[in-house]
Structures are given as structure tokens and as C-alpha cells.
């Protein structure tokens, strides 16, 4: 049954195709309505052709079925008429098709009283209407409710005499109706409407006044209707520019420029250009100044290269916004000898013009004027230098940037560094490193940062040499830079440097570099070899530093070293080793952690070791029974309730009878009874997909648990689990 509507439509289409062979009066128009909305273009075409075949009577019949909103469902009819309005205007359509439909719509328009129905037909006439619509639609312009759709239809049709019809309606119009007509006349550029529109240009109503001025800006009088003096659109707009309202003044000034464009479009190029010059002068003298650049740009668009003298003059303006805008517009015109003018600007122009020009130039233009741009590296203005540095961030500019870096201008160094990072290739890094020989301290610091950011491995020796510099800031920066630069084969040099440094910050920097280089070794077991090689002969202080890195590098040899060091006679070394063991990343150190916990002389160390132990065991891949034994061993060493709770908490990962029995041992411990009971519920009872324990050995534990838990719902949960045990 759900396919019935589609079957019905198929039958309807077939019926209409057959109807095409019959006389028009026999065509079933109700069948056409039933096809709406059409499912595809072919179906729509069939329906439209059936209506067209019925001629004006069929069309009139459908038009009469359009209902006022709220009085019935006419959406199918509206679909049909809307599609039909496009169908009759298709390329190749017979003129009679459009004429019949338009006649039917106009006849209906005159008969119906409902204004929303009238508006509907006016909307369709926008697409299919012709000159025959002018008089009938013109009669509707007197109705304030219909003036908008009527005007839009007339503007779309644009039949000869449209402006006259609108102008006639405007004679006795006011309010919103008048403004609709004024807008339309402006859009039509109806020069015979100028006097009547001008009446509204001085209205005290802001919307009325601005609408009229906008319309006047669009109209250029023809020779026949040429008006001069106060009656011309240009003079009316100029007078309106004298407003004391800043917003009004700005809007009307912009309209003057719009009018200048209209003048140029009509062929009055010289008048349009003259008006642009006048607006530019007016904006500079009386404001708003920001419209002066717009006036210059409009002038260039109208006058082309004839505007060059005006633009050159404006470049000398004391108003930077105007001078920069003039320069950009001038460049866009590509005047004769443009390259020479650019060179002059870049080398001798005002700084603000040079800055704007640099921001405007394309990469190709920057390359073409490279020397002129580079001449600004020594400019006294910092902004100018920085803009120049940015513009020179190319392979060609790299040598000059490096030279400027060596000059040590502190204010420029960050910008030069950014530019070099952009401009320099891998092969340029040795030149960057070599520049340290003649550079002041401030520049050398930037160079070291560049080498580090670019991971300049070829410059290791230069950076390593800087790590022994007499200046402490250079030494520290070099030691930090060694990390990204050093390769694994250079680790012996780094560990040697580590043994030499005594400053804490330098030691930390070198150690970090050792770690970064060591982690680049694929084999985990080899990562700590360079540190382990020097460990036996290192001073206690250095041993402590090395111990702190071993847990980050890993490997069995490193772990063995920590295990031995955790029993060292030197307390500092021993404590450092225990701390490193507690931070070991995996379960390979579990045994060493537990042994160290047993020997730990103070509670803090033991707590750290036990927490590390639980962390690695819980994350490990040992079987459940193995983990359970490891947790039991840890519980034997735990002294505080907190650590016991931590260890017992890991049992929820196991959830077997042995885990429950281990928890049972702590149900009598008043310090951890509540936590042990809560964990026992999680291990022993069903929860979600977990069905709980069914081992008979769980019954006595769960029975004790039921007597301990305080929450009634939890107790019922435990009792339900007991009931399920067979």
C-alpha cells in the first residue's frame, strides 16, 4: 500500500500522455494538479505541456484555484503555476504560451480581492510578464500594501514606459510607498524623475532623505534633461554634504563618489574625475578623512593614468592614511618608469611610505628591487629595519641577514633570527655557526638558538666549543643547544663534558642533552652505556646526577646499577638510587623495588618504592596468580593503612577467589575494614557484565561481608550473590 501514491502518479502521467492526443477541452486538469510537486523534470514537463495545451482557459482555471492563506490547501496549485511561469519563458517556447499565462494571471489579478493572492501573482509575473503588464500593474501602485511587490515586478519586466508609470504614482505618494517608488526610479536611472525625487532629499525624516539621496546618486541627467546648478543630482548631493551629522556627511560623501562612477559610466568621464578630485579635497579639509583614499581610488578607476599627477601629489600629504593609499593606488596603475619610482620610494621615501610599500610588494617585486630594500637595513627607524629584515627572509638575503646579525644590534636580533630561520637552508648552518667567531655575546646567543632550532648536527663541534666559552651565558646556551644537535656517536664527548661542569644549571643542561642524544638510540639496552661507562669513576655528586637519569633511559644494566647503588654506603647515593628505582617505568624493576623497600631506612622512601611497585605490577603482563603473590609480598612490607589500601585496590583487576580470600584477611582490620569490604564486593559480586564469583569457597567470605557492609542495597547484592552459589 505504501507504493500506491507513486502508482497513482504513474497512471496520471500515462493519462496525460494519452490526453495529448485528445482535444484540449477533454484534458483532465485535476490530474495535472495531482502530479504536483513533480518528482522529476520529465514529469514536470508533461504536466506543464498539458496545461499549455489547454490554453488560456486551462490556465485561468488553475489561477482561480489559488486560495487566500488560511482558507484551504492550495500548495499543489502554487507549485504548478510557479513552474509554469518558468516553463513558458524557456528558450524556444512559443510566444503564445507566455501571453496566455500572463493574460490569465492579469485577469485573475483584477478579479481577486485578497492582497496576498495578488502579491503571489505579481511575484510570478516577475518571471513571465511582458509589456502587457505595465498598465494593469501600474494601477496597483496606489495601494500601500501592494506597492512593493508591484514595483519589484515592474523592475523585473522593465517594459518601455515603466519609469513614467512609477513617476506618475510618485506624484501623490508619501511615506513608505513613496520610498519604494523613489528607490525604483533610482534603479532605473530615470532622469525625468530628478525634480520629484529632489523634493524628498531635504526631508526631516532620515530614512526618506537618505533614500532620495541614494536614488539621485544613481541618476545622471541626459542631454535632454540636463540640469545645472542647485537642481542637479550632483549639486543636491554636495549641499547635503554640508550636514553637521558626521554619519550623514560620510554617507553622502560616499554617494558623491558613487555618482562620479555613474557619470563616468554615462560617458561624462571628465565630470566624474572632477567630482572625485572635489570629494578628495572636501574629505581632507572637512572630513571624513578616511573617504579621501576612496576618492583617489575612484579617480584612478575613472581617469586611469590621467590620475597619476593627483596621486603623486597626494603621496606628499601629511595625512599618512592618504599618502599610503595614494601610493598603493599609484602602484596599481603601473605608471611609466614605475620601477624607477619604486626604487626612489624604497630608498628616499618617507618611512611610513616605505613600510606600506614593503607590505604591498609581491615576492617578484621584492626580488627585482632587492638592493633598494636592503639599503634600509641601516635605517634609523626600528620599524623600517624590522620590515626590511622580514622582506629579506630569502636565500638571497641570507648573507646580509647574517652580517646584520653579527652587528649585534640588540633591538633587531629577534627579528633577524626569525628571518634567518626562514631563509637559511641546511647547508647554510655552518656559515651561521662560523658567524659566532666575530659576533658579540648577544648575537652569539641568537646563533646558538638558531642552530638548536634547526637541529644543525653538522655544527656539533662549534657548539661544543662554545660550551667551554668564558662567558657563562654562552656556555649555558651552548650546553642546552647540544641536546637537539648531538648524535648518539657524540655521547662520549657529552659525558666527558658532564664530568667537568660544576654549576648546577650547566650540569642540568648537559644532562638533558645527554638524555636527548641517548634516546635517539633505537636499542633500549644501549641508551645508558655512555653514562654507565663513567659512573664508577664519577664523584658522588656526579653519580647522583647520573642516577637520576637512568630510569628515563632504561635497560637491564642501568637497573642493575641502581640496585647496587641502592645499597651504597653513601646515604646521598643510596637515597637517589631508591628514588630512581621508584620511578622505573616497567615491572622489570619490581623485585629491586620491593627489596629496596624492605631496606628503606625511612618511611618516605618505603612509601615511594611501594607505590612505584604497585604501579609497575598493575601495568605489567604477569598472570593473575603471579600478580597476586607480588601484591601479598608488598602487603607484608606495608606499614601504613594508605599503602595497604593502595595495594588491595589493585585486586579489582584480578577478581578471582584468591583475590577475595586475600581481601578477607583485612575485613577484621579496623583501619581498612571499610575499604577492604568495598573492594570485596567488587571482586566477589556481579556488576554489569561481570557475574561475580560462584566458587563455594567464596560463600563464607561473602557471608562475613554481608554482616559488615552498612548499605542496605549493597547487603542485598551480597546476599543475592551468596544465593547463586551452589
pLDDT band, residue 726 (cuts 50/70/90): confident
Give the number of other CB atoms < 10 A from CB of residue 591: 14
% of the chain surpassing 70 pLDDT: 95
| Mean pLDDT across 109-126 | 95
- Please choose, from the candidates 141, 80, 145, 83, the residue with its C-alpha nearest in 3D space to the C-alpha of residue 114: 145
Q: Residue 46 belongs to what H/E stretch? A: helix 41-53
pLDDT in tens, 639-681: 999 999 999 999 999 999 999 999 999 999 999 999 999 999 9
Cβ–Cβ under 8 Å, residues 617 and 584: no
| Three-state DSSP class for residue 502 | coil
Higher pLDDT, residue 654 or 25:
654
pLDDT in tens, 214-256: 999 999 988 654 555 567 899 999 998 888 888 998 999 999 9
Q: What is the mean pLDDT of the chain?
A: 89
**3-state per-residue secondary structure call for 76-140:** HHHHHHHHHHHHCCCCCCCHHHHHHHHHHHHHHHHHCCCHHHHHHHHHHHHHHCCHHHHHHHHHH
d(CA 193, CA 137): 19
d(CA 505, CA 60): 95
Provide the pLDDT for residue 343. 84
d(CA 222, CA 216): 13
pLDDT in tens, 65-98: 999 999 999 999 999 999 999 999 999 999 999 9
Cβ–Cβ under 8 Å, residues 44 and 88: no
DSSP state of 66: -
Burial of 203 (C-beta count, 10 Å sphere; 0-12/13-18/19+): middle
pLDDT in tens, 568-619: 999 999 999 999 999 999 999 999 999 999 988 889 999 999 999 999 999 9
pLDDT in tens, 612-622: 999 999 999 99
Dihedral of alpha carbons 137, 140, 141, 144, sign: negative
| Mean pLDDT across 453-480 | 95
Residues in the chain: 726
pLDDT in tens, 543-559: 999 999 999 999 999 99
pLDDT band, residue 21 (cuts 50/70/90): very low
**pTM, full prediction:** 0.63
| Mean pLDDT across 444-473 | 95
Helices (H) and strands (E) in the chain, counts: 44, 0
Provide the pLDDT for residue 230. 60
Dihedral of alpha carbons 421, 425, 429, 432, sign: negative
d(CA 137, CA 157): 11
- Please choose, from the candidates 277, 268, 317, the residue with its C-alpha nearest in 3D space to the C-alpha of residue 297: 277
pLDDT in tens, 303-357: 888 888 888 888 888 888 888 888 888 888 887 777 788 888 888 888 888 888 8
Cβ–Cβ under 8 Å, residues 648 and 676: yes
- Taking CA atoms, 218 is separated from 190, 191, 484, in Å, by 9, 9, 67
Amino acid at each position: 500500500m505504501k507504493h500506491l501514491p507513486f502508482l497513482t502518479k504513474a497512471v496520471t502521467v500515462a493519462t496525460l500522455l494519452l490526453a495529448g492526443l485528445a482535444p484540449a477541452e477533454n484534458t483532465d486538469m485535476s490530474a495535472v494538479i495531482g502530479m504536483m510537486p513533480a518528482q522529476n523534470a520529465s514529469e514536470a514537463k508533461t504536466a506543464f505541456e498539458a496545461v499549455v495545451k489547454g490554453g488560456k482557459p486551462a490556465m485561468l482555471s488553475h489561477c482561480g484555484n489559488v486560495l487566500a492563506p488560511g482558507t484551504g490547501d492550495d500548495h499543489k496549485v502554487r507549485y504548478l503555476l510557479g513552474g509554469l511561469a518558468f516553463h513558458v519563458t524557456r528558450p524556444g517556447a512559443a510566444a503564445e504560451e507566455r501571453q496566455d499565462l500572463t493574460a490569465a494571471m492579469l485577469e485573475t489579478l483584477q478579479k481577486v480581492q485578497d492582497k496576498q493572492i495578488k502579491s503571489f501573482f505579481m511575484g510570478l509575473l516577475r518571471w513571465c510578464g511582458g509589456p502587457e503588464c505595465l498598465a494593469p500593474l501600474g494601477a496597483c501602485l496606489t495601494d500601500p500594501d501592494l506597492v512593493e511587490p508591484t514595483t519589484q515586478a515592474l523592475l523585473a519586466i522593465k517594459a518601455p514606459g515603466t519609469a513614467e508609470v512609477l513617476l506618475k504614482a510618485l506624484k501623490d505618494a508619501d511615506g513608505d510607498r513613496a520610498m519604494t517608488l523613489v528607490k525604483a526610479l533610482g534603479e532605473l536611472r530615470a532622469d525625468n524623475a530628478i525634480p520629484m525625487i529632489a523634493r524628498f532629499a531635504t526631508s526631516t525624516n532620515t530614512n526618506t532623505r537618505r533614500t532620495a539621496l541614494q536614488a539621485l546618486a544613481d541618476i545622471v541627467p541626459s542631454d535632454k534633461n540636463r540640469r545645472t546648478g542647485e537642481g542637479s543630482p550632483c549639486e543636491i548631493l554636495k549641499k547635503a554634504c554640508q550636514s553637521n551629522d558626521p554619519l550623514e556627511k560620510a554617507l553622502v560623501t560616499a554617494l558623491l563618489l558613487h555618482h562620479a562612477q555613474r557619470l563616468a559610466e554615462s560617458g561624462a568621464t571628465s565630470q566624474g574625475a572632477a567630482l572625485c578630485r572635489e570629494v578628495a579635497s572636501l574629505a581632507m579639509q572637512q572630513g571624513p578623512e578616511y573617504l579621501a583614499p576612496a576618492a583617489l581610488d575612484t579617480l584612478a578607476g575613472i581617469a586611469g593614468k590621467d590620475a597619476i599627477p593627483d596621486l603623486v601629489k597626494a603621496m606628499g600629504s601629511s595625512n599618512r592614511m592618504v599618502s599610503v593609499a595614494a601610493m598603493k593606488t599609484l602602484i596599481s596603475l603601473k605608471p611609466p618608469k614605475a620601477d624607477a619610482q619604486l626604487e626612489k620610494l624604497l630608498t628616499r621615501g618617507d618611512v611610513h611610505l616605505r613600510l606600506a610599500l614593503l607590505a604591498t610588494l609581491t615576492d617578484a617585486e621584492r626580488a627585482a628591487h632587492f638592493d633598494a630594500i636592503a639599503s634600509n637595513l641601516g635605517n634609523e627607524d626600528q620599524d623600517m629595519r624590522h620590515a626590511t629584515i622580514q622582506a629579506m627572509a630569502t636565500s638571497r638575503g641570507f648573507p646580509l641577514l647574517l652580517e646584520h646579525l653579527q652587528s649585534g644590534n640588540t633591538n633587531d636580533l629577534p627579528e633577524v633570527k626569525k628571518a634567518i630561520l626562514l631563509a637559511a637552508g641546511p647547508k647554510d648552518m655552518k656559515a651561521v655557526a662560523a658567524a659566532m667567531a666575530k659576533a658579540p655575546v648577544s648575537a652569539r646567543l641568537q646563533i646558538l638558538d638558531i642552530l638548536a632550532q634547526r637541529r644543525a648536527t653538522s655544527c656539533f663541534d662549534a657548539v661544543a666549543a662554545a660550551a667551554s666559552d668564558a662567558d657563562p651565558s654562552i656556555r649555558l646556551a651552548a650546553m642546552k643547544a647540544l641536546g637537539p644537535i648531538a648524535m648518539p656517536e657524540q655521547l662520549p664527548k657529552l659525558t666527558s663534558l658532564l664530568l667537568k661542569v660544576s654549576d648546577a644549571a650547566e650540569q642540568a643542561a648537559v644532562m638533558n642533552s645527554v638524555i636527548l642524544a641517548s634516546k635517539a638510540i633505537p636499542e633500549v639496552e644501549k641508551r645508558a652505556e655512555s653514562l654507565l661507562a663513567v659512573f664508577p669513576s664519577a664523584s658522588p655528586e656526579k653519580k647522583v646526577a647520573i642516577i637520576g637519569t637512568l630510569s628515563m633511559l632504561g635497560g637491564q644494566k642501568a637497573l642493575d646499577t641502581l640496585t647496587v647503588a641502592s645499597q651504597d654506603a653513601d646515604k646521598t647515593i643510596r637515597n637517589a638510587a631508591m628514588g630512581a628505582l621508584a620511578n622505573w617505568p616497567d615491572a622489570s624493576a619490581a623485585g629491586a623495588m620491593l627489596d629496596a623497600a624492605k631496606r628503606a631506612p625511612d618511611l618516605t622512601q618505603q612509601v615511594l618504592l611501594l607505590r612505584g611497585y604497585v604501579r609497575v605490577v598493575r601495568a605489567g603482563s604477569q598472570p593473575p596468580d603471579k600478580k597476586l603473590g607480588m601484591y601479598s609480598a608488598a602487603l607484608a612490607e606495608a606499614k601504613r593503612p594508605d599503602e595497604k589500601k593502595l595495594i588491595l585496590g589493585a585486586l579489582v583487576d584480578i577478581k578471582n577467589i584468591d583475590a577475595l580470600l586475600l581481601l578477607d584477611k583485612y575485613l577484621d582490620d579496623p583501619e581498612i575494614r571499610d575499604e577492604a569490604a568495598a573492594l570485596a564486593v567488587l571482586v566477589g559480586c556481579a556488576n554489569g557484565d561481570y557475574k561475580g564469583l560462584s566458587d563455594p569457597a567464596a560463600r563464607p567470605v561473602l557471608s562475613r561481608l554481608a554482616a559488615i557492609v552498612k548499605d542496605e542495597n549493597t547487603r542485598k547484592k551480597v546476599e543475592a550473590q551468596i544465593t547463586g552459589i551452589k
